[in-house]
Amino acid sequence: MKPASQSTSRLGAWIAIGVGASYFLIPLLATFEFSLRMLRGEYSFEAYRVVFTDPLFQATFGYSIMMAVITIIVGVLLVVPTAYWVQLRLPKLRPLVEFITLLPLVIPAIVIVFGYLRIFNSSSWIPLTGNERATDFLLVCSYVTLSLPYMYRSIDTGLRAIDVRTLTEAAEVLGANTFTILFKVIFPNVRSAILSGAFLTFAVVIGEFTMASLLSRPAFGPYLQLVGANKAYEPSALAVMAFMLTWASMGLIQVFGRNAKNATKP
Amino acid sequence: MAPSAALPKPGGGLSWNWLGVAPFLVFATVFLVLPTSYLMVGAFQDPAGHFTLNNLRGLFDDNVINAYWISFRISAASAIGGGVIGFLLAWAAVQGQLPAWIRPTLMTFSGVASNFAGVPLAFAFLATLGRVGLVTTLMRKYLGFDLYSTGFSILSFTGLTLTYLYFQIPLMVLIVSPALEGLKREWREACDCLGGSSFHYWRYIALPVLWPSIMGAMLLLFANAFGAVATAYALTGSSLNIVPILLYAQIRGDVLHNPNLGYALALGMVVITGLSNAGYIWLRSKSEKGRT
């Protein structure tokens, strides 16, 4: 009785995994196959060549990478001190800070950017949409906001894993000020948490569409949409590349996470 | 402000400590709370700034209420579908006694796929199930079956739901796996010893323990789908009248011919995603309490 029920449950498990795997792999295969079809009658990487040589691709991709890097820097500088301070001095504020960092998952991005367009428009007190640099700044802020949930959770987990209080006290005894403690003691100790937050942010920001499109910035997301509306094979090539980028980001998180685990083990 | 900051520790301790999180609070206020509140307040005002409920009434215009209804159905369908399939996958990987490599592989892949949304996802599904997509073509060629003759279209309700499942299922796997890991092997054994069948086990043990996690996760998936813009926009352009697309069009060019109705539209979205997230948090605390 028992072995029979177990083997049926194992069969069920295999079926579930099999169906799941095909649902996830077929679109990837199909996209890849489609991306090779640009030249009639043969498979080639022509679509990729066309994409890579498109100056607009280079410009928008470069722009989005730059935005992602700035977002990560600003995000880390904003979140690490906050999470550190909350853990060390203001544990009572933790629920509030956690709640705020989760808000971007609750409030849809399109609503947030709609609000930006209303309160930062060119006739407002803070006319950030007035010129391009200021709008870039606004875009970075919007991305920092979007990435808050990932950044905060990752860094907070990292900080919980180390003994913040002892480290801080040790550094204070040695005469370090808060600034030194933060940058010379805390940052190095949560490096892998920062990196995993950073890669997650990168994956979220690099192809982001809603914010960039509504703020009218020449980012990769709106470019993708434009190509999708006008071309046949290039979108598939771009989708394959986007998927590989996401893979790479997630893979790197795993690599750094594993290294961190090994490093803390004696 | 300045004198209190300059005070020595004993007297000004509190304000010093507050200062540490001030940059974060200021940032969150300026770039998250204020913009959203502006819209929420605007939803209750007429263009002249007077209080009114007309905008909320405007949400019940045919066009708008339709958009909400389609959005609701797509989000619910993708949340329930993603919830059920994701649960089965997570169960198979966690409890299914499969080879050890399956589980980490599924988790890693879920991490990737739950983040693979937006415009590229739309491209992937166009290449798969679009008119000249691989699956469509292969079915026509080898099975003699024309998917599109059945009225199916990737640009439709079904198509969009099917596409959303691509990030909904992995999200479900990630959220529900910890709960499944909490199921103790002894419970199953106790059930078997007492002569219970699989049905009894699920009906009286596993599901009662798991349901808050499952329901909560589905609410989260619902909110996730409800706010998504990019995939739908890249897939269907503006041919499918769902709330995020309507709001996008409204922001772009005031298609509703009433800016304040746009604010009300945004308010409606926040209320719906807010309620489902609140439900998720409530159910999660319930399931955590149940476990201890």
Fold designation for B61-291: MetI-like fold (1.10.3720)
Picking from A24, A119, A142, the nearest residue to B113 by CB comes out as: A24
Give me chain A's average pLDDT, please.
89
Paired with B51 in beta bridges are B45
CB atoms within 10 A of CB B37: 13
Give me chain B's average pLDDT, please.
87
C-alpha radius of gyration, chain A, whole number:
23
Paired with B45 in beta bridges are B51
Q: Is the pLDDT of residue B218 over 70?
A: yes
Picking from A28, A89, A209, the nearest residue to B230 by CB comes out as: A209
Q: Is the pLDDT of residue B11 over 70?
A: no
Q: Rounded to the nearest 10 degrees, what angle do helices A109-119 and A132-161 cross at?
A: 130
Q: Which CATH class is domain A47-264?
A: mainly alpha
pLDDT at B240: 83
pLDDT at A5: 55
Q: Is the pLDDT of residue A132 over 80?
A: yes
pLDDT at A4: 52
Rounded Cα distance, B10 and B22, in Å: 20
Given a contact cutoff of 8 angstroms between Cβ atoms, the answer to whether A135 and A215 are in contact is: yes
Percent of chain A with pLDDT over 90: 62
Distance between B99 CA and the closest CA of chain A, angstroms: 10
Distance between B45 CA and the closest CA of chain A, angstroms: 14
pLDDT at B9: 44
Q: Is the pLDDT of residue B10 over 50?
A: no
Hey, is the C-beta of B261 within 8 angstroms of any chain A C-beta?
A: no
What are B33-47's pLDDT values in tens digits? Answer: 999 999 999 999 988
CA dist B25 → A70, A86, B98, B166, B280 (Å): 20, 12, 47, 35, 25
The residues spanned by each domain of chain B are: 1-42, 61-291
Percent of chain B with pLDDT over 90: 43
C-alpha radius of gyration, chain B, whole number:
24
Predicted confidence band of residue B291 (pLDDT cuts 50, 70, 90)? low
Predicted confidence band of residue B290 (pLDDT cuts 50, 70, 90)? low
Q: Is the pLDDT of residue B111 over 90?
A: no
Chain A 175-214, CB below 8 Å of chain B: which residues? 200, 203-204, 207-210, 214
pLDDT at B15: 63
Distance between A249 CA and the closest CA of chain B, angstroms: 8
Given a contact cutoff of 8 angstroms between Cβ atoms, the answer to whether A152 and A94 are in contact is: no
Rounded Cα distance, A255 and A166, in Å: 28
Please report which residue ranges of chain A form alpha helices under DSSP H: 2-35, 46-53, 55-88, 94-106, 109-119, 132-161, 164-173, 178-180, 187-189, 191-206, 210-214, 220-230, 234-264
Predicted confidence band of residue A103 (pLDDT cuts 50, 70, 90)? very high
Helix, strand and coil in chain B, % to nearest 5: 80, 0, 20
What are A220-237's pLDDT values in tens digits? Answer: 999 999 999 888 899 999
Picking from A20, A26, A246, the nearest residue to B112 by CB comes out as: A246
Measured in degrees and rounded to the nearest 5, phi and psi for residue B45 equal -125, 155
Both tokens of residue A107? 């409030």
pLDDT at B185: 81
Predicted confidence band of residue A45 (pLDDT cuts 50, 70, 90)? very high
Q: For chain A, how far is it from start to end, CA to CA, in angstroms?
A: 46
> In B221-234, which positions are buried (b, 16+ CB within 10 angstroms) versus exposed (e)?
bbbbbbbbbbbbbb
The residues spanned by each domain of chain A are: 1-35, 47-264
Among A108-117, B202-211, B270-279, the range scoring the smallest mean pLDDT is: B202-211
ipTM of the complex: 0.88
Q: Is the pLDDT of residue B7 over 50?
A: no
DSSP labels for A182-200? IIIIIHHHTHHHHHHHHHH
Number of H helices and number of E strands within chain B? 15, 0
Predicted confidence band of residue A131 (pLDDT cuts 50, 70, 90)? confident
Predicted confidence band of residue B5 (pLDDT cuts 50, 70, 90)? very low
Predicted confidence band of residue A2 (pLDDT cuts 50, 70, 90)? very low
pLDDT at A154: 92
Predicted confidence band of residue A115 (pLDDT cuts 50, 70, 90)? very high
pLDDT at B202: 84
What are A68-102's pLDDT values in tens digits? Answer: 999 999 999 999 999 999 998 888 899 999 999 99
Rounded Cα distance, A92 and B17, in Å: 11
Rounded Cα distance, B54 and B65, in Å: 15
pLDDT at B114: 87
Given a contact cutoff of 8 angstroms between Cβ atoms, the answer to whether B91 and B180 are in contact is: yes
Given a contact cutoff of 8 angstroms between Cβ atoms, the answer to whether B97 and B180 are in contact is: no
Higher-scoring residue by pLDDT: B287, A44: A44
Predicted confidence band of residue A259 (pLDDT cuts 50, 70, 90)? low
pLDDT at A98: 92
Rounded Cα distance, B221 and B280, in Å: 10
pTM of this prediction exceeds 0.90: no
Percent of chain B with pLDDT over 70: 93
What are B52-70's pLDDT values in tens digits? Answer: 898 899 899 888 999 999 9
* Closest residue in chain B to residue A16, using alpha carbons only: B89
Q: Count A/B contacts: CB-CB distance under 8 Å.
A: 254
Most confident of A143-147, A203-207, A253-257, B144-148: A143-147
pLDDT at B265: 93
Q: Using a CB-CB distance cutoff of 8 angstroms, which residues of chain A are in contact with residue B119?
A: 207, 209, 221, 224-225, 228, 242
Q: Tell which residue, A254, A265, A264, A144, has the closest CA to residue A195.
A: A254
Measured in degrees and rounded to the nearest 5, phi and psi for residue A241 equal -65, -40
Cα B233 off chain centre by? 17
pLDDT at A255: 79
pLDDT at B173: 94
Q: Is the pLDDT of residue A208 over 90?
A: yes
CB atoms within 10 A of CB B118: 26
CA dist B157 → B84, B110, B145 (Å): 19, 24, 21
Q: Is the pLDDT of residue A150 over 70?
A: yes
Number of H helices and number of E strands within chain A? 13, 0
Hey, is the C-beta of B249 within 8 angstroms of any chain A C-beta?
A: no
pLDDT at A266: 43
